[in-house]
Structures are given as structure tokens and as C-alpha cells.
A and B are shown apart, each in its own frame.
Chain A
Amino acid sequence: MSEITPERVAYLAQLARIALTPDEIETLTGELGAIVDAVATVQQVATPDVPATSHPIPLTGGMRPDVPGVTLTTEQALAGAPDHDGSRFRVTAILGEEQ
């Protein structure tokens, strides 16, 4: 039985920074419950003796010369920003009143 409840979906949405509507939370609760039940089948074969694979083709890191490369200018980096002051991204208040 799935542990997906509307309260949990609302909490996950808060963690993921998505302001879901109550209707979306209700729909997602049903859908995610079914999906989680389906994907939980991985537990049937994931026994303790099986090592985890996080990367399909293992590579070891290499070294490169520490020389300056071509990087973005400030202007280029800010070109797609919703708001900026010419040298920095501009955002609204970072802290709420209670903080």
C-alpha cells in the first residue's frame, strides 16, 4: 500500500519549490500512488549482496593544465536573467518577516 498522501505531496512540493494548487495535489496523490506501487518492484531483486551502480561507464578523473580558459563575460552571464543591476542578479527579499 502506497504511503503517498495529499499531505506528503504538499510537503514534497514545498521541498521542490513548486506552488502546486489543491487540485494538482489531489491529482498527483492518486497518480504518484500508482507509480510508486509500480516502481517499488525494484525491491524484489535488490538484495544486500548486489552492489549499486551510479554511473554506467566508470571513468577515473584526469588532470588538466591549470590555465585560464575562455569564460562568459559578466554581460553574457546576465543576458538571460529576469532582472539584474549590471553586475549582479537581482532578486526580491531573501528572508521573510518571521526570519
Chain B
Amino acid sequence: MSAAANSADLTRATAADLAARLAAGEVSSVEVTQAHLDRIAAVDGDVHAFLHVNAAALETAAQVDADRAAGVALPELAGMPIAIKDVLCTLDMPSTSGSKILEGWVPPYDATVVARLRAARMIPLGKTNMDEFAMGSSTEHSAYGPTRNPWDLERIPGGSGGGSAAAVSAFEAPVALGSDTGGSIRQPAAVTGSVGVKPTYGAVSRYGAIALASSLDQVGPVSRSVLDAALVHDVIGGHDARDATSIPDAWPSMAEAARRGAQGDVLKGLRVGVVRELRGESGGFQAGVKQRFEETLDLLAGAGAEIVEVSAPNFEYAVAAYYLILPAEASSNLAKFDSVRFGLRVEVPGGTVEDVMAATREAGFGPEVKRRIILGTYALSAGYYDAYYGSAQKVRTLIQRDFAAAFEKADILVSPSAPTTAFRFGEKLADPLAMYLNDVTTIPANLAGVPGMGLPMGLAPEDSLPTGLQLMAPAREDARLYEAGAAIEALLETHWGGPLWAQVPALSGSASNGGAR
């Protein structure tokens, strides 16, 4: 096999397969890491998934190889490259959260999930692009320019975690980390034909994740297969004393659940609940998305699943509640960017520290961040608090009740992950409300704290772009998602004759000269 063919083979392999080959000594971590660095150099000028590439990646990989050669017992994913969303603090790489206000900032500590990747001897490849402070659904709000969708470079890769989703679907990384506040892992997965999981709130530590909305944020895996997501989930998940919202329970292995799902007969008798309000009958859903969703339900029924329709009447108010709770929490969380302790400072001759602060925040924040901070400040201000923020918190209770009622009738809930396929750059930028509606399908899970998974559902007939299927399970039942998700993935891949990502167009790499560094 030629070196180039071997390199392509390594970048298109699943993480599970690579892990087996690494463990067997068939390939080295240096070879796997080099193959992905080469791929980044070749295509990231076009895709722009990365804001920073880790200069020490090969050195870290060589240490893993040396330990393996010396017979040291290594964790399952040792030597596996992984891309890290820029919202996560990393000791050795800048962590900007996509904002100019943190340009060049290198944190004095690692996020817990990053520390766990390192302890598992994984290889950080670099930091991925995102909408500024995770506010957006397209990466068009990144202060460093958008990421492009590998399926069509003229279209958005979803957001906020468009960089991580594009990195795995362009074969620049086998797996990645994302964060999901209202859909920032699942919606990018939908529009790039990849897999992404928002775990149960509190299942994965938020320590060192630059906070957007603390009662909604959750870190999770991004990958090209359900099993690969599960393998990463097992590395990053579990209790962390540094996060007061971290669930102290012991968790089952998500990888075991995924393997059980892929091999067993778990769909037979599985009660699959279709959320009527997210089925796409109310408009705003693309015809091809609805078609693929209904076809998937037919396939599931054919495999023995029991399809039941459930109603969640308060989901209609989820987007409204979300755009009160999120800005309120964000306006508080982002107060820390005060020009004093870290990040940008804009000098104001003769000005007080308050003038400097206001000038810094004016210069350092982009338009969407300003919009949400002002909205949150309004929602929390005296005289409006009860009417807006207080009412939104009540809607949160109603949505939790809707989930509880639905899970009386169903083991898992399903919906499209996103109402449309990837849209073109600029299409929704001028209308913030239109952009907010991209997350209509994903927001309820964040408000209720339940886990959600997005996986490929086929290409929409009208534009040949990926659509996504969302699965949701009750809180703490993340393993159920992986088991059912792997079973559905196997069913769909048998139907398609292979994984969806095999159909992604080749990238020419014509703009490779300006590759991210």
C-alpha cells in the first residue's frame, strides 16, 4: 500500500478500528496523528474547522508509542487524535471561545474533560472553530471567520460547534469534543452527516468549559459513528468534584451499550415515541427532512420497534423560554470579561476602569453576543424579572412534565435533529429570530436536562445534503441512547449499503496554502 493510500485509510477509519490497530501495534500513534495533520494541512484552508493546530501533537504521540513499545498498559483510546472545541480550556493552546475578547488567551488550567483526554493518553490535535461564546447555529458569529460545510463549501456547518462537526466529517479528526447549550452538538451533526451527543445535564463535567448558560451547557462527543461517540463519552464522563452540578452516580459503559445495540436485537419491542410537535407538520420543516424521518420510522417499525405518537404541547414555548433563560445566564456569565484579569483591554485616556471596561466589551464582543447580553440584562431587570425570566422558568417545568408524560409511553423519543439541511452563508444572518428557530428541535432536551443524540438520517432528495435523526432518553439514561442509536445506525447503514459519510464529496484542497495554525 502506498503512503498516501495508507494515510487516507487512517483518516477514514473509525476510532474503534484505529484503537484496535493501535493496541495491536499495526499502526503507531505518530502515523495516525501525522495522517490527520497532513489532512488538516491539505483541506483546512477550505474547511476552516481549526482555529489552532497543536504543534506538540506528534511529540505527545511519540511518547504514547514509546510507552506502548515498553509494554506499559495503556487505556483503550491511547494514541488517538481528538479535536477540541475552543470553548474548552487547554493549558497548552489558546482558548478563545471564538471571541476577540479572548484572542491569544492561554488558560492557566485544563478543563476536566481535557485533563481526562490527556489521562487517557489521547492526542489533542487542536482547537475547533465555533460561534462566539457558542451563540449561534452556523459559525457565522465566530470572530475568526466561519467554518465551511465539507458537503458543500458554500453552506454552513451548523453551530455553534460547526468546527468540531466539520473536522470529523472532513476526516481531519476521528473524534472531537463539543458543547451543547441548545443544540450546538446535535444541529451541526445533522447538517454535516455526523454523530453528536448531548449527555444528561451533569453527566460530563463543565469545569473549564467557558460558560454560556450554566443551567443548560453540557460537553459531549462528536464523531462519525455511535460507538466512537460512546468511547469518547466513557473517557470524559463521570463525577467531578470541581463541578457542583456534576451527578455523583456511577455510570454504565456507553461503549458496551453501543456494542450491544449494534449486535443485538434491541429494536424489537422498543417503544419509539414520535413527538407530534416536532414531526414537522407545523411548517418550517424541509420536505426532504420530513420524508427521511418518516422513512426511518417505517424502517424502525419493520425492525420490530413499536412506533407511538406522543404529544408535548409545551414544546411550542421552548424556544421562547430558551431565549430568555440563555441570555439571562449569559449576561451574568460574560460579566467576567471586564478587561482586568484576562483577555482584551482597550485603553481610554483619562477614563475610569468602568470606561475601560465598556470600551473593551464594545470592541471585543461581536453583534450576537451584544444582542444576547442586552436581552438578558433586560430580562433580569427590576420590574420585568417575573414577567420574563420567571415565566420562562415555569415553562421549563411544563416541558419537564411533557417529557415525563411522553416517557410513560415510550422508551426513547425521536424527531428530526434539525428542521432543514445546511443553509447558505448569509441566508439567516440578518434575521436573528429566523436563526434562533434552527434549534426548535434540540432546545427542549437542554431545558429539561435529558440526553439527546444526533445521527445521520440520509440525504435530502431535493439537495443531496445530510439530514439528522434525534433520539432523546430520560435523564441518566444515556446508555439507552447509545444502545438504540447504534442499532438504528446499523439498520440505516444496511439500508444505505454503508455509512453516510462515505458519500461526502472529495475536497480539492485548493485553498490549502492558508491552513490554520
Which A residues lie at the B interface, using CB under 8 A? 4, 8-9, 12-21, 24, 28, 31-32, 34-36, 38-47, 50-57, 59, 61-62, 64, 72, 76-77, 79-83, 89, 91-96
Contact = CB atoms under 8 A, between A and B. Distances in A.
B62 to A, nearest CB: 28
A19 B361 contact: yes
A93 B352 contact: yes
Given A20-B370, A56-B448, 7 more contacts: A34-B433, A46-B390, A46-B392, A51-B394, A53-B397, A80-B343, A81-B342
Contact of B321 (A8, A36, A42): A42
Contact of B373 (A18, A35, A76): A18
A32 to B, nearest CB: 6
A36 B378 contact: yes
Contacts of B216: 56
Given A53-B393, A57-B247, A94 B353 contact: yes
Interface in B48-67: none
Contact of A54 (B215, B314, B321, B347): B215
Interface in B332-388: 335, 338-345, 347-348, 351-359, 361-362, 365, 367, 370-371, 373-375, 377-378, 381, 387-388
A93 B355 CA distance: 10
Given A35-B375, A96-B352, A42 B395 contact: yes
Given A16-B331, A82-B343, A96-B352, A40 B388 contact: yes
Contacts of A20: 362, 370
B387 A43 contact: yes
B393 A64 contact: no
Contacts, number: 181
Interface stretch (B101-109, B188-196, B477-485): B101-109
24 contacts: A8-B378, A9-B374, A16-B373, A17-B335, A17-B357, A18-B358, A19-B361, A24-B370, A32-B375, A38-B320, A40-B320, A44-B317, A52-B397, A53-B394, A53-B397, A57-B247, A57-B475, A59-B248, A61-B244, A72-B109, A79-B106, A80-B343, A82-B339, A92-B353
Contacts of A40: 320, 387-388
Interface of B: 105-109, 200-202, 215-216, 241, 244-245, 247-248, 314, 317, 320-321, 323-324, 331, 335, 338-345, 347-348, 351-359, 361-362, 365, 367, 370-371, 373-375, 377-378, 381, 387-388, 390-398, 400, 432-433, 446-449, 475
A16 B391 CA distance: 22
A42 B388 contact: yes
Q: A-side binding surface: helix, strand, loop or mixed?
A: loop
B373 A51 contact: no
A16 B328 CA distance: 12
A57 B433 contact: no
B353 A32 contact: no
Nearest to A18: B361
Contacts of A21: 362
Contacts of B388: 39-40, 42
A1 B256 CA distance: 54
Contacts of B367: 24
